[in-house]
Amino acid sequence: MSNVILYIAASFDGYIARKDGSIDWLTAFDSEDEDYDYTELVERLGTVIMGGKTYRQVLTFGDDWPYADLTSYIVTRHVQPEDPERRIKFYDGDLTALVAQIRAESDKDIWLIGGAELNAAFVNLNLIDEYIVSVIPVMIGDGIPLFPPTTAQSRVELINMKRYPNSIVQLHYKHVRE
C-alpha cells in the first residue's frame, strides 16, 4: 500500500513560509551538490496533493509545472477545470476518500506538499504515514507555521536523521498509529 508522505522544509522556528507565502529565506540553502533526498523521494511517488495557496505559489516559480510526471491534486474550494496536459486535477471533497481513491489506482506513494491548513487536516484525519522535515537553520520570526494550532495531537517515531554540512537537519518520522 502506498504511503502519504509530508516532505517539507521548515525554518528553525517552525515556519514553512512568510505570511505572504514567500520562501525567499530558503534560497540561501540551495545546493547544486545536495538534493536532500528529493530524487529518492520522487522515485517513490505517483501523486502529489497540495492546497490551493501552495498551488498558486508554485505557479509563480516559472512556466514549467515541476510535477508534470506525477498526477497532481489541488485541494481547493475554487475548483477549476482539469489540466490534462500537466496532469492537474482540482478537488473539493472528503480527503479520506481522495487518499483511498489514489491508493486504489496506484501503489506508488503520495506526496503531501501542504500548506499548513492541509497539513493539519491530514494530521487530524490520521492520513500521514511519514514525515520528512528539513529544519533550515534560520529563524524568520513570523509566518505560516508547519502545523497550525488546530492540529490534533499525534505521535511519531524517528526512523532516520541526517545532518548536512550547511547545518540543515532532516528528520524522518513515521506516524505511530495507536
Please report, for the domain that includes residue 84, its CATH number.
3.40.430.10
Q: Considering the domain boundaries, does residue 175 fall inside one?
A: no
Q: Print the domain residue range for 68.
A: 4-168
Query: Is the per-residue pLDDT at 133 higher than 80?
Result: yes
Q: Give 18's pLDDT tier (boundaries 50, 70, 90).
A: very high
HSE on the CB side for 69, CA within 13 Å? 6
Q: Considering the domain boundaries, does residue 74 fall inside one?
A: yes
pLDDT score for 150: 87
Grid cell at residue 163: 545532518
How many Cβ atoms from other residues are within 10 Å of residue 153's Cβ? 6
Is residue 100 a contact partner of residue 47, using CB atoms and an 8 Å limit? no
User: Which of 63-67, 85-89, 122-126 is modeled with the greatest confidence?
Assistant: 122-126
Q: Considering the domain boundaries, does residue 121 fall inside one?
A: yes
Grid cell at residue 124: 487530524
What percentage of the chain reaches a pLDDT higher than 90?
Answer: 76
The residue that leads in pLDDT, 111 or 84, is 111
pLDDT score for 86: 87
pLDDT score for 84: 80
Q: Considering the domain boundaries, does residue 150 fall inside one?
A: yes
Q: Considering the domain boundaries, does residue 173 fall inside one?
A: no
CA distance 4 to 23: 23
pLDDT score for 31: 82
pLDDT score for 85: 81
Q: Considering the domain boundaries, does residue 177 fall inside one?
A: no
Q: Considering the domain boundaries, does residue 97 fall inside one?
A: yes
How many Cβ atoms from other residues are within 10 Å of residue 68's Cβ? 11
Q: Considering the domain boundaries, does residue 127 fall inside one?
A: yes
Grid cell at residue 43: 522515485
CA dihedral 6, 11, 17, 22 (to 10 degrees): -130
Q: Which residues pair with 9 in a beta bridge?
A: 134
How many folded domains does the chain comprise? 1
Mean pLDDT across 64-82: 90
- Please give the C-alpha separations between residue 15 and each of 22, 26, 83, 139, 144, in angstroms, as whole numbers: 11, 11, 31, 8, 5
